[in-house]
Amino acid sequence: MLTLYGTSFTSRLLLGTAQYPSPESLRQAVEASGAEIVTVSLRRESARARTGQGFWGLIEELGCRVLPNTAGCRTAKEAIATANMARELFGTNWIKLEVIANDDTLQPDLFGLVEAAAALSAEGFQVLPYTTEDLSAAERLVAAGCTMLMPWGAPIGSARGLINREALKTLRAYFPDIPLVIDAGIGTPSHAAEAMEMGYDAVLLNTAIAKAGDPVKMAAAFAKAVEAGRLAFEAGLIEPRDMASPSTPVAGTPFFKIDHAS
């Protein structure tokens, strides 16, 4: 079971709700993914279009736990105000905290992130911080009140997978008991499986499913990959080695002569 802020979940796949070809495709993809947590945002509401009112009905139908984000916020102040608006709108203390530093990489501004995480934790929020693999930032976030962390795999929407594997392994080893979720950059089911094999507790993704040729089929593929990766981690992976090691028994090999062994 995946436990985040005291709530347990069967699925280890968290799904974004943006960029699907249609609301129906989103609904079916969420179902096929088995996700129990979906991310949402808040955006300016036009008095004429009233776009958000219809979307809220769809989200309620999904029956998932809602995780609002602060996507697009550039400062701790913006993120704190957005988190408060999200808490009132969605009726949850959970916030996927994003403070963005740079347009090209959409990388977290770790300084603003830590500042906002501390302020929001003090206001009773349960903060799910979108961070990097940086260890000192991770320590500051934990000290600020975060009981889980969401390091990026690669820049948002880049589909490049885990581009800093060694640092992600270090982060996992450094925080053996804190739930760690790979958030962003996952492009393929094998990326997700790799993260799970490394012992990450869950993955959060959006674009890889929403923009796939068939989002519903891809959602099913990711569900299997996440489950496979988790099972493999629990089973215990073998260590890689440089040289070959025969898997078929050597003893009793036909035509075997001792000089072949040298």
Partner 1 sequence: MKILLNGEAFATDAKTLDELCARLGFAEAKIATAVNGSFVAASSRGATSLADADEIEIVAPRQGG
Active-site residue list: 96
Binding residues among 129-168 for partner 1 as defined by CB under 8 A: 156
- Give min distance, CB of 53 to partner 1, in A: 6
Binding residues among 201-230 for partner 1 as defined by CB under 8 A: 206-207
Question: In the set 27, 28, 31, 59, which binds partner 1 (CB under 8 A)?
Answer: 59
17 lies in the binding site for partner 1 (CB under 8 A): yes
The three-state secondary structure class of 58 is helix
- Give min distance, CB of 93 to partner 1, in A: 14
Whether 38 contacts 65, CB under 8 Å: yes
Please work out, in degrees rounded to the nearest 5, the angle formed at the alpha carbon of residue 99 by the alpha carbons of 98 and 101: 130
- What's the CA gap between 262 and 251, in Å, rounded? 15
238 contact partners, CB below 8 Å, separation of at least 6: none
- What's the CA gap between 131 and 182, in Å, rounded? 10
Give the range of 76-84, 163-171, 192-200, 253-261 binding partner 1 by CB under 8 A. Answer: 76-84
- Give min distance, CB of 83 to partner 1, in A: 8
33 lies in the binding site for partner 1 (CB under 8 A): no
Binding residues vs partner 1 (CB under 8 A): 16-20, 26, 39-47, 50-53, 55-56, 59, 68-69, 71, 77-78, 80-81, 84-86, 88-90, 156, 206-207
